[in-house]
Structure 1
Amino acid sequence: MGALLAAGAAQAQQTANHPDPQDEPIVADSPKPFPDGDPTADGKVSSSASGTVTEQALVVQTIPGMPPVPDIHNIYSEASGPDKLSPVVAHDLERIYVPNLRGNSVSVIDPKTYKVVDTFPVGRSPQHVVPSWDLRTLWVTNNSEGHTDGSLTPIDPLTGKPGKAVAVDDPYNMYFTPDGQNAIVVAEAHRRLDFRDPHSMALKSSVEAPLCEGINHAAFSADGRYAIFTCEFGRYLAKVDTVNRTLLGMLKLSKGGMPQDVLAAPDGHKFYVADMHADGVFIIDGDSFKETGFIPTGLGTHGLYPSRDAKLIYVANRGSHMVHGPRHSKGSVSVVDVATDKVLKTWPIPGGGSPDMGNVSADGKMLWLSGRFDDVVYAIDTQTGAMKIIPVGAEPHGLTVWPQPGRYSIGHTGIMR
């Protein structure tokens, strides 16, 4: 397997030396926890030396240190509702934390009153508010957009107040390996992933992805052995071995050219990729790293969030193909049925808008999204699509809803398991 991974890395490096690679994916096989085939892929009865293994007995063989996956069909089963709130977050404030990219600040909303109750300064160009793996810190990723003063500002969820920033190079976004051993700082401008200590943020090692221009969002497989990252400005996806910290390969999408958010399906094998230029969502087989389908959703498809029962995906369509606007564009939210990969309904933003990043309330009744180019936040009723619009700072981006149900966070705006 070591030789295979080395070959994959060498092949990726070889491709980096050629500006026009072919459309076929450059991939090495991912590490396989089941040498004779993964029985968790479809949940069917599998034979073994001792007879048969019932579906109930099947388990996902996770990487060492990663919490078990109780439901092989739903990696989000432990984040399904308020009854799944961890005791760790029992005394945390109920708040919506909104990073204002151009305001260099964070707006804090009380979800009960729909009012901004606090605003505090952070570093330059805050992009996302990221819950830590252990649920004890909310990190604001201030990537400074081309400057050298990138930082992470910690927020104490007990008080809602910021602490002293930690200097970190180019933190556009941040994730955590599912075993909790590493923070992965997404250094977008450098086309690089920095594996860091999840508490001190000291650098451990880096993974270079030279073809992944604008590397930014990620999702992890069911077993935690690999992650798929999107390359916003390059029409590519990158597959990364999270255990050996190597680049496994690159996949060029068939159309579009601006992949944004990526979300693992409940089975942890299929992945959904929003593409802002394709106006829809690509379906990717993560294990084979191949494109298998496409779901048209709306103009400027951008963010992806699962419902609490993981039966639906809320798709934020930003309403424009433009990176920096305009205001009051034809933004909407599409609701996709995971079972059929079909759009069930679409909610337009009243008067136009730019829904971007966010998350779902603990009870699943409200979808919170930033209105990126309209300087607002949308609170959307997940049953009716009715919306409340709340003014915040300049260019709100990756907001998080807190607290969230779940045992641990894998990062971004609070993707919980």
Structure 2
Amino acid sequence: MRTTNAARLLAAGAALTALTLLAGCGGSGDGGGAHRADEPVVSKAAVPPPPVKPQQARTLPGMPPVLDPADLYAADRPGRLSPVVKDFPSLVYVPNTNSDTVSVIDPRTYRIVRTLKVGRQPQHVVPSWDLKTLWVNNDRGNSLTPIDPRTGEAGKPVAVHDPYNLYFTPDGKYAVVMASMDRQLVFRDAHTMKTVKAVPVTCFGVNHADFSADGRYFVVSCEFSGELLKVDTAAMKVVAHQKLPLRGAMPQDVKISPDGKLFYIADMAANGMWILNGDTFAKPTFLATGKGAHGLYVSRDSRVMYISNRGEGTISLYDFARHRLTGKWRLPGGGSPDMGGVSADGKVLWLSGRYNSEVYALDTGTGRLLARIKVGSGPHGLAVYPQPGRYSLGHTGIFR
């Protein structure tokens, strides 16, 4: 009797197992199916979610998109010339402030090939936003002289009052005149140069600037009162200002870091540069570089910034990644390195010799002086042109 009952129980258990297996093979409400014993079982929790597309930065409307948020100078790589400028002859344009001329140098021969007569006290040669024109800032002449970079010839001057320096908004709509003596930032139509809005400032000597990564604001240095301004680009309004924490400070050139997080401001009285968080606009830190720190120029690989120390005839090298100075080049026989730019191939740093009526060409790999070229009196903001980049933000060539 026990044996019969046991057999019946075994048979019932086998039938139940068979039904369970059939149910498993037939599919389920969640779409599952059978698998072979040698197939791995993948948990749904282990399946990675689809990649999330990174959101684009909220930039100034009309501004070209940022190529690489980690490197604002990504468009400035060696030889990466815009179709607009690729056929322009390579030349160096040197405004001689005291001679009222522009010396035009052939960078291959290191010889002056042309001397242009311009307005009174030319300070900087500035590439336009669309890269098609070079503007000579005739500060005391109250005019801008256009140069056609296809021919190297000067055109008819345009009346603009007190144009010490010149910048362009990232959307290409406006030129911003640094009217130093007028104590104004003057927004003008980028093509006609007609005034759109004149913004009074409380500081003295507005002179240099650079724009934030998103183009929504820019930082301006005030040379004669030792102050910095933060300006809303779209509103055309000063939204913050601060006094540098050093009596007698004289801030000069301004450049943003490749990652867009910091601004560097050269200071010729403090003999170094201030390092500022533009977003918070908090009190900056300071790094000594050399006597009379004046110009700031980024290498073609975005790794190094060249700092011209006008008062001691040297150029300091600043490493962005390591946040420190890594070397210093000294001009043989001395000199007064001021403003300039880097050649299109990145191999030569060109700087004006403000107090020596000369221009310097230095090898960016070694710091060796390649040439010392005599020019007019008081050479200042020279422009190397053309240079890589999609558009110009002004000065002697800030390209994005």
Q: TM-score, normalised by structure 1?
A: 0.82
* Structure 1 position 52, deviation (Å): 9.2
Correspondent of 2:75 among 78, 97, 100: 78
Distance 1:54 1:316 in 2: 45
Partner of 1:130: 126
| CA offset digits 1:122-149 (Å, max 9, x no partner) | 00000000000000000000011xxxx4
Distance 2:255 2:53 in 1: 26
Partner of 1:312: 304
1:161/1:239 CA distance change after superposition, 3 Å: same
* Structure 1 position 318, deviation (Å): 0.4
Distance 1:181 1:299 in 2: 38
Partner amino acid, structure 1, of 2:146: P
Partner of 1:230: 221
Partner of 1:384: 366
Partner of 1:78, secondary structure, is: helix
| CA offset digits 1:212-234 (Å, max 9, x no partner) | 20100000000100000000011
Partner of 1:249, secondary structure, is: strand
Partner of 2:93: 97
Mapping of residues 54-69 of structure 1, within 5 Å? 57-69=54-66
Correspondent of 2:386 among 403, 406, 410: 403
1:344/1:366 CA distance change after superposition, 3 Å: same
Correspondent of 1:368 among 350, 355, 359: 350
| CA offset digits 1:188-223 (Å, max 9, x no partner) | 00111110011110000011111x201000000001
Please tell me whether the aligned partners of residues 152 and 167 of structure 1 are also in contact (alpha carbons under 8 angstroms).
yes
Distance 1:56 1:176 in 2: 31
Distance 1:243 1:171 in 2: 21
Please tell me whether the aligned partners of residues 102 and 125 of structure 1 are also in contact (alpha carbons under 8 angstroms).
yes
**Bigger Cα displacement from structure 2, 289-298 vs 108-117:** 289-298
Partner of 2:115: 119
Distance 1:383 1:295 in 2: 23
- 1:249 equivalent to 2:231? Answer no
Mapping of residues 14-413 of structure 1, within 5 Å? 57-82=54-79, 84-144=80-140, 149-210=141-202, 212-255=203-246, 257-319=249-311, 330-387=312-369, 388-413=371-396
**Bigger Cα displacement from structure 2, 277-286 vs 262-271:** 262-271
Please tell me whether the aligned partners of residues 229 and 239 of structure 1 are also in contact (alpha carbons under 8 angstroms).
yes
* Structure 1 position 269, deviation (Å): 2.8
Distance 1:170 1:137 in 2: 20
Structure 2: gaps (5+ residues)? 1-47
* Structure 1 position 295, deviation (Å): 1.6
Q: TM-score, normalised by structure 2?
A: 0.86
* Structure 1 position 75, deviation (Å): 0.8
* Structure 1 position 54, deviation (Å): 6.9
Please tell me whether the aligned partners of residues 183 and 196 of structure 1 are also in contact (alpha carbons under 8 angstroms).
yes
Partner amino acid, structure 1, of 2:98: R
Distance 1:340 1:141 in 2: 36
| CA offset digits 1:44-100 (Å, max 9, x no partner) | xxxxxxx99979724322111100002111111011220x21000021110000000
Partner of 1:291, secondary structure, is: coil
Aligned residues: 351
- Indicate the structure (1 or 2) with the bigger Cα radius of gyration: 2
Please tell me whether the aligned partners of residues 371 and 378 of structure 1 are also in contact (alpha carbons under 8 angstroms).
yes
Distance 1:162 1:300 in 2: 32
Distance 1:184 1:53 in 2: 45
Aligned residues with identical type, % of pairs: 55
1:157/1:396 CA distance change after superposition, 3 Å: same
Distance 2:55 2:97 in 1: 45
Partner of 2:26: none
* Structure 1 position 268, deviation (Å): 1.9
1:177/1:136 CA distance change after superposition, 3 Å: same
Distance 1:304 1:58 in 2: 31
**Bigger Cα displacement from structure 2, 246-255 vs 115-124:** 246-255
Distance 1:234 1:369 in 2: 26
Structure 1: gaps (5+ residues)? 1-50, 320-329
Cα-Cα RMSD: 1.5
* Structure 1 position 412, deviation (Å): 0.1
Distance 2:134 2:384 in 1: 10
Please tell me whether the aligned partners of residues 143 and 170 of structure 1 are also in contact (alpha carbons under 8 angstroms).
yes
